[in-house]
Amino acid sequence: MRLRTLTLAAASGTALLAAGLLPAHASAAASPKSAQEGTVSAADLLAKVTSCSQISNGKYRTDEETSATVPVCGKNGAVFWKADMDIDCDGQRTTNCNEDRDPWYQDDTAFHQSDGKPLKAETLPYVVVPSTSSIWNYSNSGIKGGGVVAVIYNNKVEYAVVGDTGPTQIIGEASYATAKALGIDPDPATGGADSGVTYILFKNSTVSPIESHSAAVSLGDQLAKQFIANN
Domain of residue 192, CATH code? 2.40.40.10
- Residue 11 located in a structural domain: yes
Q: How many CB atoms lie within 10 A of CB 23?
A: 7
Total tally of structural domains belonging to the chain: 1
Residue 35 has a pLDDT of 59
Which regions of the chain are under pLDDT 50?
1-34
- Residue 175 located in a structural domain: yes
CA distance 19 to 1: 30
- Residue 93 located in a structural domain: yes
The 8 Å CB, 24+ separation contacts for 94-99 are 94/120, 94/121, 94/122, 94/123, 95/122, 96/122, 96/176, 96/186, 96/188, 97/121, 97/122, 97/176, 97/188
The pTM assigned to this predicted structure is 0.86
Q: How many CB atoms lie within 10 A of CB 136?
A: 26
DSSP character for 62?
S
- The values of phi and psi at residue 86, to 5°, are -90, 160
- Residue 69 located in a structural domain: yes
- Residue 124 located in a structural domain: yes
Q: Which three-class secondary structure string do you get for 109-122? A: CCCECCCCCECECC
- Residue 1 located in a structural domain: no
Residue 36 has a pLDDT of 76
- Residue 63 located in a structural domain: yes
Domain enclosing residue 17, as ranges: 6-230
